[in-house]
Amino acid sequence: MSSSSRTPAGAWARLVMAATALGAGTVAVVVAVLLIHAVLG
Amino acid sequence: MRRGGRGVLALAVVAVALLAPAAASAHAYLIKTVPSASTEVDVSPPVVALTFDEAVEPRFAIISVSDKNAHQVTAGSVHRAAGNPDTLIVPLKPNLPEGWYLVYWRAISVDGHPVQGAFTFARGPNAGPAPQFVIPHISQTATTPKLLVTRWLVFLSVMIAIGLFFLRIGIARPVARRIEGTSLRSISVAFVISSVVGLIAIPVYLDCSTAVDSLRSAWDIGALVPLFRITAFGRGYVDMEICFALFCVAAWVTLWVDRPEREHRSIAELLAGIGALVAAAAVLVVPGASGHAAQTAPRSLSLLLDWLHLISGSIWLGGLIGLIVLWQSLPSGRRVGALSVVIPRFSNAAFVSVLVLLGTGTWATVLHMPLLSAMWTTSYGQAILVKIGLLLAAMLLAAVNLVRTKPRLVAARSRPELGASTTVLLRRLISGEALLITGAVFAAATLSSLAPPAAALAKEGSALAKVGPGPISTTVHKDGYTLKVVITPNKAVAPNSFAVQITKGGAPVSGANVTLTFLMLDMTMGQQEYQLKETKPGLYSHAAPALVMVGHWGLSFDITPKAGEPLTALVVDHAAG
């Protein structure tokens, strides 16, 4: 992993994975906000 | 900048807390019945209809109608009235014989707690005297051992997973760089195990809980899954599974891209880490939003306190479990060095967490408890006391670590002979601490399964007398008036006679307006109000099936004399079955 990450392809793969993680976090926040909105409605 | 960002976020949350509306009642309550309670009807009613203050799901409701011999007289299943989602209907057998009938109902409130009650009606015209019915017993099923254990597993696995992730990414990361030959793989593996347990435990708990509420088998999954999102409680746990799964994806990616041997994080590491942390924060919103916090006024503040409480508890508990795992996985030669890096960093985080845990827990307890004595007189309060006791013991061990073990570990860098004994002491203290917090989480799982005391319980302190069970005749004094209160037979679900003889200076007080209000003190439900009629000079009475369930009732006599100031006299009555 460490050696592949030094290649441009490896770096892009890591960035795509990181963006996926950020997207997952964002969706989780949206779900939580919608839940709070429904509760406090 | 990071601190600034946190400050803005905190201000935004506080602003939302201040602007949001106050809470409504926590439980569905019955506001109307057809036939009316304790009345006699001359024609056999085709149905029994119960109207609640909110929409109640018929698939989670029971309406039992039985005669004096406990034979069921219902002729179909419970369903909603056409055009009125707040009313539940159960059809009855045609041409019911004359006599008295007991209606027993149970429904599930939005926060997942069962609410129940009973009343009687008579089919006339010659129904005869009302018999004493035996109330069917359906336990408050949110606290069965199976549900408690699965709920505990959910809390533990989710909190430990989030705490382990925080330890691995935020606290223990420098160890791999500073102490050559050390690896954080054991913490990552522990995190993956706890996250998988959490992913399984949440749906299992939701399945078991829905099965209990809908009186089905937990294995009847095909019938249970469509019911998951019917109650607010069920929707909350489905959302929790979604958020937790997203957190797991983000966290696993973060661990995959993380290179702890580098001092500075790459952009990919930062993005993934932020994604995982916000997902973790979202996960910990859900238990409060689907539980008591969302039903306790002011709701926004309760939600905020619950969220901070869970975050701090997760950092503390997950961190301790991570330290135990790290201790076990490190070779003895590198143990002192690695722990001397991690422990001081973790101590700081744990210290802040404990302070937040204490503050939010105390504040939330004040919001939930209508009066101090509810801490020892209600099951909810007793569970809080057990939790406080366990956390205080854990804090004691944490304090020993902070003032004794941490400095010795730091000193061991220059005096290696201190290392071995210190790490052994550390492992024992941390293990004890983790065990105590695990017990506290069980107490938290228990208390979040119990209905919190009703706000009306606060009135108990102003009661002039506490009476019952059984027939009562008691005399109280208020504002120069003497009130003799008589309740017979003072039994739940039976017609009772309520009377008050009012005198002043030995003379009966005639012509007063007397209202009697019934308030259930053991749980939140609607209050009933009756006008008392003067049957003799100064004697006011009424017969009503007002004590619709076993428990403690606040009987508030609001008296407006013809001349003089109005007065209110509160008597707390214990009605037995």
Tens digit of pLDDT for each residue in B225-246? 887 887 778 888 999 999 999 9
Cβ atoms of B556 and B567 closer than 8 Å:
no
In a mutational test of the A interface, the residue from B109, B111, B195, B249 whose CB has the highest number of chain A CBs within 10 Å is B249
Query: Looking at beta carbons, which residues of chain B come within 8 Å of A40?
Result: 20-21, 294, 299-300, 303
Q: How confident is the model at residue B137 (pLDDT cuts 50, 70, 90)?
A: low
Per-residue pLDDT at B186 exceeds 50: yes
Predicted TM-score (pTM) of this structure:
0.73
Nearest beta carbon to residue B271 from set A19, A27, A36:
A19
Task: Report whether pLDDT(B315) > 70.
Answer: yes
Q: How far is B175 from chain A (nearest CA, A)?
A: 18
Burial B376-399 (b: 16+ CB within 10 A, else e): eebbbbbbbebbbebbebbbebbe
Q: Which of A1, A5, A32 faces B286 most closely, judged by CB atoms? A: A32
CA distance A29 to chain B (A): 5
| pLDDT value at residue B113 | 64
Closest CA to B300 of B20, B12, B7, B10: B20
What mean pLDDT value characterizes chain B?
Answer: 83
Identify whether the C-beta of residue B92 lies closer than 8 Å to the C-beta of residue B43. Answer: no
If you measure CA to CA, which chain A residue comes closest to B279?
A25
Chain B residue numbers with beta carbons less than 8 Å from the beta carbon of A21 are 249-251, 253-254, 271-273, 275-276
Q: Which residues of A touch B279 (CB under 8 A)?
A: 24-25, 28-29
Report the range out of B129-133, B364-368, B523-527 with the highest average pLDDT: B364-368
Q: Encoding tokens for residue B5?
A: 């960002």
| First-residue to last-residue Cα distance in chain A | 47
Residue B167 DSSP symbol: I
Q: Which of A21, A27, A31 sits opposite B271 (nearest CB)?
A: A21
Q: What is the mean pLDDT of residues B59-84?
A: 86
Chain A positions with Cβ closer than 8 Å to B: 1-2, 5, 11, 14-15, 17-29, 31-32, 35-36, 38-40
Tell which of B237, B271, B277, B307 to mutate to test the A interface (max A CBs under 10 Å).
Answer: B271
pLDDT at residue number A38: 84
* A1/B289 Cβ within 8 A: no
Report which residue type is found at B577: G
Q: What angle do CA B352, B356, B357 make, to 5 degrees?
A: 115
ipTM reported for the complex, 2 dp: 0.88
Q: Which residues of A touch B282 (CB under 8 A)?
A: 25, 28-29, 31-32
**B456 pLDDT higher than 70:** no
- Helical H runs in B214-231? 221-224
Mark yes or no for CB contact A24/B279 under 8 Å: yes
Residue B168 has pLDDT above 60, yes or no: yes
Interface test with B, best of A2, A39, A40 (most B CBs within 10 A): A39
Q: Rounded to an integer, what distance in angstroms lies between the CA atom of residue B391 and that of residue B397?
A: 10
The pLDDT value given to residue B545: 63
- Cβ <8 Å between A25 and B277: yes
What are the start-end ranges of the E strands in B393-511?
Answer: 465-467, 472-478, 481-488, 496-504, 507-508
Tell me how far apart the alpha carbons of residues B339 and B418 are, in angstroms, rounded to a whole number: 13
Contact B50, B30 (CB under 8 A): yes
A8–chain B nearest CA distance, Å: 13
Q: Which amino acid would we find at residue B112?
A: G
Contact between A28 and B267 using a beta-carbon 8 Å cutoff: no
Please tell me which of B42-46, B51-55, B227-231, B514-518 the model is most confident about, judged by mean pLDDT: B42-46
User: What's the order of all strands across the beta sheet hosting B84-91?
Assistant: B30-34, B47-52, B84-91, B79-81
Q: For chain B, report the end-to-end CA distance as a whole number of angstroms.
A: 63
- For residue A2, give how far its alpha carbon lies from the nearest alpha carbon of chain B (Å): 8
Kindly report the nearest CA distance between residue B233 and chain A, in angstroms.
11
Among A3, A7, A16, A17, most B C-beta atoms within 10 A, so best to mutate, is A17
The three-state secondary structure class of B172 is coil
Q: Could you tell me the two tokens for B274?
A: 């932020």
d(CA B439, CA B383) in angstroms, rounded, equals 11
Q: B554: which strand partners?
A: B519, B572
Distances (CA, A) of B345 to B173, B195, B259, B478: 11, 24, 19, 62
What digits encode the pLDDT tens for the residues B361-373? 999 888 888 777 7
Q: For residue B441, is pLDDT > 90?
A: yes
Whether a cis peptide bond, with omega within 30° of 0, leads into B21 is no
Length of chain B: 577
Task: Please tell me the distance in Å from A9's CA to the nearest CA on chain B.
Answer: 13
Which chain B positions have a beta carbon within 8 Å of A1's beta carbon? 256
What is the nearest CA distance from B392 to chain A, expressed in angstroms?
A: 31
Contact B499, B541 (CB under 8 A): yes
Most confident of B178-192, B205-219, B534-548: B178-192
Q: What is the pLDDT of residues B319-332, one digit of tens each?
A: 999 999 999 998 88
**Which pairs count as long-range contacts for B77-86, CB under 8 Å and 24+ apart, including other chains?**
B81/B49, B84/B51, B85/B55, B86/B51, B86/B52, B86/B53, B86/B54, B86/B55, B86/B56
Sign of the CA dihedral with B77 first, then B80, B86, and B90 last: negative
- The residues, any chain, with a CB within 8 Å of residue B278's CB and separated by 6 or more, are A25, A26, A28, A29
Q: State residue A32's pLDDT score.
A: 94
What is the structure's pLDDT at B142? 53
Q: Is the Cβ pair B246, A24 closer than 8 Å?
A: yes
A17–B282 C-beta distance less than 8 A: no
For chain B, which residues lie within 8 Å of any Cβ of chain A, measuring from their own Cβ? 20-21, 232, 235-236, 239, 242-243, 246-247, 249-251, 253-254, 256-257, 259, 266-279, 281-283, 285-286, 289-290, 294, 299-300, 303
Least confident residue range of B124-138, B174-188, B562-576: B124-138
Residues B100 and B40: their CA atoms lie apart, in Å, by 9
